Amino acid sequence: MICPLSPAHFVALGAFQLFIVLLFMNVSLAALPLIIFILICCIAPLFPRFSFFLPIISRGDKRVHGVSLTFDDGPDPEVTPLLLDLLKRHGVAATFFVTGVRAERYPDIMRAILTAGHAVGNHSYSHSPLLMLKGRNILQREIVSAQSVFLRFGIVPLAFRPPVGITNARLWRILLENGMFCVNFSRRGADFGNRRVTGLARRLLAKVVPGDIILLHDVAPRQGDVTHLLQEFSVIIEGLKEKGLPILPLNQLIGKEVMQWGASESGPNQAEQFYNGLAATYDQEQFSTTVSLSRSTEYRLFSRQLPVLFAGANRVLEIGAGTGIFTLDIARNCTEVIAADISGNMLELLEKKAAAENVGNIRTLKGNVETMPLEGTFSVACAFSALEYLVDLPAFFIRLARHVEPGGTVYFITARSSLFRLFTQIGNAMRQGLWLKSHSRREIEVMLTAAGFERIAVSSHLLKSFLSGGMLLEVIAHRPETVATPAELEGA
């Protein structure tokens, strides 16, 4: 469920609480916290790196040494073709944040940008500087209309850069609904949309540091000529090389894809976009950050069940297989694993791991497990912290039951509703913009019983205390050995 929580929500909550307290202490000061909150809301959008209303990517990953070049407001027939030649001579890949209206006007230049291997981001349809002051419907239309134009060129930009870098409180939900994220910048040369070209390279190179996302513009200059602008661009590229700063594609710098070729099979999906971007560092995050406590507990529980549930199994379905943290162990104990996940990038890493370890009985299946076709039956269906993303878990269990063979097993570990879990749900809503569902033991038992499973065993784990019954539920359920056919059910 889309739930875009941001620092703005918590500042608002704090301001309101102070307002209530001051009503009883000093009425004359009661409105002050609310006034301060409103002032912050007015000022925050003017700072392109301030993630007040939504997460904003404005710098690269700290572990990556380099910078990225981004060009806004084009394409422009006077500048962009010459810029493409310049980038080609220097062997540099850039990202062009393009407006929909200009992409329609100059389709040949758009194709040239893509053919040259550069990425394209969404910069709204019409590039109105006052876009963020307009209503939700207009903002939605500006983003979606531009996406429709880009789809004609066979691409779907995932990165959105708002005009002038200004954001508002409505933007994140719209981006989530379209499977996108916000990218601004950390370094610019104060060119004011190429109104101030002279000295651009000098101003920029004086302050550039590793990790910078550099903002430039590929539109005709208001000061000087195009030749002068291209000379400044050339000095910037050469100056970055002299400083020992590699110019990297934006996706390498930030660790997230900024554009995909072709429409997503599942449509705009925030979980898909999030995990595609996280794939390269996923394994490290799962076992070397705060997430590791939960993941390590899952792996310990899974290892205990591995020889019991998976040894000698025929076909196994793993829901949300990801990069294969559990998949390879399962594959070594059964005949075949169908590894399903919404993230193609995660599944590619799984396939590489399997090939490296000479494991050949894994078949990957990309898509939304709630809607994609499932072929045949399975001895075991399993999932590890994946069911929280499903929209309708009861309906999914009913659907899954049809694909679990008589006597087969469903085994999963999922989030348990608790006080501690609430804090992780809030944190996830701030990070992904999604509210991950958690359930009680009773809810899980009711859902599985309604789907026709029996011998349901549910146990709780992780941070069990008098305040909380644990954060994880480990569930084992079985399909009856004898299952009524549809005709028998109708007769009953």
In the DSSP assignment, the letter for residue 309 is I
Cβ contact 322:298 at 8 Å: no
Cβ contact 95:239 at 8 Å: no
Cβ contact 187:215 at 8 Å: yes
Q: How far is CA 37 from CA 7, 158, 166, in A?
A: 11, 31, 18
* Distance in angstroms between the alpha carbons of the first and the last residue of the chain: 38
| Among 72, 73, 218, 341, the one annotated catalytic | 72
Q: Please state, in angstroms and rounded to a whole number, the distance separating the CA atoms of residues 259 and 222.
A: 30
| Single-letter amino acid, residue 373 | P
Let me know if 72 is a catalytic residue.
yes
> Which residues pair with residue 97 across a beta bridge?
72, 121
Q: Please state, in angstroms and rounded to a whole number, the distance separating the CA atoms of residues 78 and 410.
A: 62
Let me know if 123 is a catalytic residue.
no
**Residue 139: φ, ψ to 5°:** -60, -45
| Among 118, 127, 217, 439, the one annotated catalytic | 217
Q: Please state, in angstroms and rounded to a whole number, the distance separating the CA atoms of residues 348 and 350.
A: 5
Cβ contact 475:302 at 8 Å: no
Cβ contact 209:237 at 8 Å: no
- Secondary structure class of 66 (helix, strand, coil): coil
Tokens of 141: 């239309």
Active site residues: 72, 217
